[in-house]
């Protein structure tokens, strides 16, 4: 079960003990998302990045199936705001990411990038990075690192907890 953490900015950690809990964090993020929201998800295979993205989609009111866009690189899902779900795992170059124009498209929507470390060099300053650490007991520690305008926002405002 998650324990509340009080921090002065959107930096902090949350524990997720199950996929549904990870989705709940995502739902909270999606429900609070504004145009231009960019989330860079970082972590190993199977850590829960897609579960969080599914939660963001739920929070945005996206209908339909949201899966990792591993082979198509980016999926677009209409909702309250359009979700641009990117998987940078198979990108060979930063140029391939730039060709997707996900950041530009996301100015009026929400961009969630799985494998965000592959493209951090070209991401805008304003973003929330979420590192997924898999613990021995199979729990996930989600480490939230704010960048740019995310600084100074309470983590409770961002995650709803």
Report pLDDT for 8: 38
Report pLDDT for 12: 81
Of 70, 90, 79, the closest CA to residue 35 belongs to 79
DSSP assignment of 81-99 equals S-EEEEE-TT--SHHHHHH
2: left (phi over 0), alpha (psi -120 to 50) or beta: beta
Report pLDDT for 134: 94
Report pLDDT for 139: 92
Report pLDDT for 111: 94
Domains of the chain and CATH, by start: 12-159 (3.40.50.300)
Report pLDDT for 68: 81
Report pLDDT for 3: 34
Task: For residue 87, give Cα distances in angstroms to 11, 25, 58, 136, 161.
Answer: 24, 19, 18, 26, 27
Task: Find out whether 130 and 41 touch, Cβ atoms under 8 Å.
Answer: yes
Report pLDDT for 158: 63
Which single residue is written with the structure tokens 């509340």? 4
Report pLDDT for 159: 63
Report pLDDT for 117: 83
Which stretches in the chain have pLDDT values below 50? 1-8
Report pLDDT for 93: 83
* Whole-angstrom distance, CA of residue 56 vs CA of residue 35: 13
Report pLDDT for 40: 95
DSSP assignment of 96-156 equals HHHHHTHHHHGGGSEEEEETGGGTGGGS-SSEEEEEEEE-TTS-EEEEEEEEGGGTT--HH
């Amino acid at each position: 079960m998650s324990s509340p953490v009080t921090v002065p900015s959107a930096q902090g950690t949350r524990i997720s003990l199950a996929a549904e809990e990870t989705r709940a964090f995502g739902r909270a993020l999606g429900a609070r998302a504004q145009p231009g929201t960019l989330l860079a998800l970082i972590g190993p295979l199977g850590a829960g990045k897609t579960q969080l993205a599914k939660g963001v989609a739920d929070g945005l009111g996206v209908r339909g199936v949201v899966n990792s866009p591993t082979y198509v690189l980016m999926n677009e899902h209409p909702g309250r705001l359009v979700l641009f779900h990117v998987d940078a795992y198979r990108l060979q170059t930063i140029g391939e990411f730039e060709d997707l124009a996900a950041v530009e498209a996301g100015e009026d929507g929400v961009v969630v990038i799985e494998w965000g470390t592959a493209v951090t060099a070209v991401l805008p300053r304003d973003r929330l990075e979420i590192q997924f650490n898999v613990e021995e007991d199979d729990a996930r520690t989600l480490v939230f690192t704010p960048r740019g305008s995310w600084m100074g926002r309470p983590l409770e405002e961002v995650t709803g907890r």
